[in-house]
Structure 1
Amino acid sequence: MPDQLTEALLPEVERWLRSHSWAAADRPVEALLAAKRAAGRAGSVSVVLPALDEEPTVGEIVRVIRRELVERIPLVDELVVVDSGSVDRTAELAAAAGARVVHRDDILPRIPTVPGKGEVLWRSLLATTGEIVCFIDADLREFDPAFVTGIVGPLLTDPGIQLVKAMYDRPLETEGAVVPAGGGRVTELVARPLLNLHWPQLAGFVQPLGGEYAARRSLLERLHFPTGYGVELGLLVDALDEVGLDALAQVDVGVRHHRHQDGQALGRMAATIYRTALERLDRTHRLKAADDLVHPHLTQFTRASRSRGFTPHTHPVTALERPPMLSVPEYRERG
């Protein structure tokens, strides 16, 4: 992270950005393998891909992970695709590429399943055994194994780290056009404002809703899992409450290429994420917009350069309201 940070950042977040934000290249794979061997059982790694109709991409992701991180360098112990009801060849292609494929409905069958990504991630804890669990979205294109090595790295090398999120550039690629920083629309319009205002300690996360993150099983098994799109925000907020900011980290893994949702799908995602936030605000009695509960600043990020990572820019969030004009004496005197 850069040396110059805006004054409106909380001192705790500024310190965290300097000490808990890394690049994947900071931890070479060979060093991770040595740390994994030294950790024994505590260094076992399960990679989980939640998948629903991801035929175009899931096979290549599995092939890359298996070739680079299972066979060439034995960093990943378990590679599991949890299929949540695909009607295409997702399960077939994932199995052919070398993953163990488990259907969502076959995990904990006594509890009826509901639709949603969070439901799949929650059930995956019963379908895996690694002490470090790494979640990777199954719609990624041009997949780089650094998405895995980057986010499991701090967990293997630092026993104080409990959860690691990937950070990356997220271009919007639609109909042949590319907007370099146009992806992550729900992040910028909904999740980032909510986190900055109500959980300002999390303002330093570049991709709070990103689907690529890893955590210790001992943490995940203690957290609530929202069943839908709110799972990433819910887990991040609850992890902060459970283990504190210094147990959380983020790693720059480059660029994320993936399928983009249409406007109505984004609206559904935004509503779910907003409700997830409201549930946590209500649970912790933080719904009132008092000065001591709302941090009136918004921190956003731009890519400085490939070597210098992301630069934070903080802006005030104004909430000044004028009274009804009828209460203004000059207005009433006008007749």
Structure 2
Amino acid sequence: MLAEVEHWLGRRSWSAADRPLSTLLAAKQALGRAGTVSVVLPALNEEATVGAIVAAIRAELMTAVPLVDELVVLDSGSSDATAKVAEAAGARVVHRDEVLPRLPPVPGKGEVLWRSLLATSGEIVCFVDADLRDFDTAFVSGIVGPLLTEPDVQFVKAVYDRPLDGAPGQGGRVTELVARPLLNLHWPQLAGFVQPLGGEYAARRSLLEQLPFPVGYGVELGLLIDALHLAGLDALAQVDVGERHHRHQDSQALGRMAAAIYRTAQLRLARGHLVRPRLTQFERADSGGFAPRTFDVDTEERPPMTDIPEYAERRAA
């Protein structure tokens, strides 16, 4: 298995600099409809960062170089000015509740990503988190690149350093403590992915529409594992895009994330049921001692989009 991973790393790991924008634009034009690109930013209360990301993509990848055809901010019920800021910067803002209104939405990032397939039209869909700071458009062009130039590639993850408290290459605590051990033990073919839980990845619509979407934190792990089983390792790739700066979660939020990641893996191992899909954490109480707080662990998944009649009708039209 190690030899297979090393072979994959040599064939399917690149740097964003390997494909200049001129190369990507020529490949896109040659592909026609198959080369159309939609960029989706799932956003919940990201007014401080979403505008700069949208403005950079519009200026560098839509105006200067027409690589991106569609830029959508999918607002997940923000209570701040996320939608207003994103629209002012040039994005088309779509509110989660407006997409597939017959199906009541549930909270979670995966829910928004799943619904975004109905709100976009590109044959290549690129997801970018809306909390990034010092945003570099290589996060988009880098991961879209292999999908434009390598016909056999279907799913591409971004690779990057994640500084934490000034230390280079740190961060990604849930990745190192939960996701990486799970992948190495149970899906060793995926051991070569540097950032398996990263929120920046691109894929062909033809693949995404066949995958179930965990509604919460488990979406990145679930999509990666399911893409492996559906398309095979050689259809997966990763691209180094440099360094990622974003808001870090506190330890309790990371605990909830870890529980969802574990649950996602457990379902894919056995397709069974959790004994107790809840997580109890503790906080110091004002009166002294520790007070328990219990959270539900995400246990719902959305079906492949091809199972949704509205999506089939839209694609047929």
Q: How far did 1:11 drift?
A: 1.2
For the pair 1:271 / 2:263, whether they are aligned, the reply is: no
Task: Determine whether 1:147 maps to 2:130.
Answer: no
Alignment partner, residue 250 of structure 1: 238
Provide the residue aligned with 1:62 in structure 2: 54
Q: Which amino acid aligns with 2:26?
A: A
For 2:149 and 2:168, the matched residues in 1 are separated by 33
Residue of structure 2 in register with 1:193 after alignment? 181
> Does structure 1 residue 44 correspond to structure 2 residue 44?
no
Aligned to 2:271: 283
In our comparison, the structure showing a higher alpha carbon Rg is 1
Q: What is the Cα deviation at residue 171 of structure 1?
A: 0.6
Q: Which amino acid aligns with 2:149?
A: T
Q: Partners of 1:233 and 1:251 in 2: how far apart?
A: 17
Q: Is 1:183 aligned to residue 167 of structure 2?
A: no
The equivalent position to 1:27 in structure 2, one of 19, 28, 32, is 19
The aligned counterpart of 2:304 is none
Q: Secondary structure at the match of 2:213?
A: coil
Q: Which residue of 2 aligns with 1:203?
A: 191
Q: Secondary structure at the match of 1:166?
A: strand
Amino acid at match of 1:122: W
Instruction: Please provide the CA RMSD for this pair.
Output: 0.8
Counterpart CA distance in 1 for 2:163 and 2:196 is 16
Residue among 221, 228, 239 paired with 1:240: 228
Q: In 1, distance between residues paired with 2:169 and 2:241?
A: 15
* Cα deviations by residue, 1:129-155 (Å, 9 ceiling, x for unpaired): 000000000000000010000000000
Post-superposition offset of 1:243: 0.4
SS class of match (1:129): coil
Q: Distance in 2 between matches of 1:55 and 1:265?
A: 21
1 CA distance for matches of 2:179 and 2:227?
16
Paired AA for residue 155 in structure 1 = L
Q: How does 1:1-335 map to 2 (within 5 A)?
A: 10-173=2-165, 178-283=166-271
> Which amino acid in structure 2 is aligned with residue 172 of structure 1?
L
- The whole-number CA distance in structure 2 between the counterparts of 1:159 and 1:142 is 32
Alpha-carbon displacement from aligned partner over 1:16-68 (angstroms, at most 9, x marks no partner): 00110000000000000000000000000000000000011000000000000
State the partner residue of 1:318.
Answer: none
Q: Normalising by structure 1, what TM-score?
A: 0.80
Unaligned runs of 5+ in 2: 273-317
Whole-Å separation in 1 of the counterparts to 2:69 and 2:10:
32
Letter in 2 for 1:210: G
* Aligned sequence identity (%): 77
Tell me the distance in 1 between the aligned counterparts of 2:73 and 2:124: 16
**Structure 1 match to 2:297:** none
Q: Distance in 2 between matches of 1:193 and 1:246?
A: 22
Please give the secondary structure, in 2, of the residue aligned with 1:141.
coil
Superposition deviation, residue 239 in structure 1: 0.1
The residue number in structure 2 matching 1:287 is: none
Uncovered stretches (5+) of structure 1, i.e. residues with no partner: 1-8, 285-335
Deviation at 1:181, TM superposition (A): 2.4
Q: Partners in 1 of 2:233 and 2:154 — Cα distance?
A: 10
Three-state SS of the structure 2 residue aligned to 1:112 is coil
Aligned residues: 272
How far apart, CA to CA, are the structure 1 residues paired with 2:233 and 2:124?
A: 19
In the TM superposition, residue 180 of structure 1 has moved relative to its aligned partner by 1.6
Tell me how far apart the structure 2 counterparts of residues 15 and 240 of structure 1 sit (CA, whole Å): 16
Aligned counterpart, 1:301: none
- Asked if structure 1 preserves the Cα contact closer than 8 Å seen for 2:142 and 2:239, the reply is yes
CA distance in 1, matches of 2:251, 2:3: 37
> Partners in 1 of 2:163 and 2:178 — Cα distance?
18
- Scaled by the length of structure 2, the TM-score of the pair is 0.85
Deviation at 1:10, TM superposition (A): 1.6
Helix, strand or coil: the match of 1:172? coil
